[in-house]
Amino acid sequence: MSGPRFTVGSTVQYICNKGYTLSGNSLLSCYNHGSSGPKWSERLPKCVLNYEACRNPGTPSYSTQISEKPLYQAGETLRFSCLRGHELLGEPVLRCVPGHPSQWSSLPPVCRASSMEFINERRLDIASADYSMEGANIALTVFIPVALIMVFIIGIYLYFSKVQGKPMCLPMSTSLPYDHIPGESTFDNSLYETETTNNEDTREYEVSI
């Protein structure tokens, strides 16, 4: 733009400064409109402040996003809905508020289990707790009698040990009567037999039984 006036057939291009976005046609041409004189081919464009986009805030548990995408321009909205059996707590629709940086109008909502779903979960928890307690009771019912029997047996053993002055034990085998006879004297019962021969000689013979 070298001057305030342009001749018919001239073309002008508009460029916005950094941080602004052009809204409209960037090229305008001057043409002859007949008796009304020369005019521009398009309306004058505008430079709109360029806002940063809002990032996707994420999908909370048990919820879904409608028209999900990674970035939302300033002024766009994002809608949430909950899965079946859950109720939504918070704002179902968020709006990207323009700024530097742009921000969502509120935090994402939360999807909570409905009342009946919560009751069913509580019933399952109670049933699991009852089952655990029943298992513990069965274990105690078996352990206590066994422990009492063991204590009773040990008490009897200690009583007899104290009365006899020595530990009570059962013989594992029966010894033979002759096991206590010394080896040298076993069957050592010698008899002497005297024999007289014709020559009047006397001979003695030792016979062992």
Burial bucket for residue 128 (CB in 10 Å: 0-12, 13-18, 19+): exposed
> Hey, CA dihedral for 70, 75, 81, 87, is it positive or negative?
positive
Find where tokens 């009342």 sit. 115
What residue type is 34 in one-letter code? G
User: Which one has a higher pLDDT value, 31 or 111?
Assistant: 111
Can you list the domains of the chain with their CATH numbers? 11-49 (no CATH), 54-115 (2.10.70.10)
pLDDT tops 70 at residue 204:
no
Residue scoring higher pLDDT (178 or 11): 11
Judged against a pLDDT cut of 70, whether residue 60 lies above it is answered with yes
Alpha helices, DSSP H only, in the chain? 115-164
Strands of the sheet containing 63-66, edge to edge, are 63-66, 77-82, 93-97, 103-104
Residue 189: phi and psi, rounded to 5, are: -125, 80
Rg of the chain taking only CA atoms, in angstroms? 57
Higher model confidence: residue 187 or residue 24? 24
pLDDT per position as a tens digit, 158-187: 877 777 665 555 454 445 554 554 544 444
1: pLDDT confidence band, cut at 50, 70 and 90? very low
Instruction: Indicate if the pLDDT at residue 15 is higher than 80.
Output: yes
Distance between alpha carbon 100 and the CA centroid of its chain, in Å? Answer: 41
Average of pLDDT values for 127-153?
77
Question: How high is the pLDDT of residue 124?
Answer: 65
Which residues in 29-46 are b (16+ Cβ under 10 Å) and which e? ebeeeeeeeeeeeeeebe
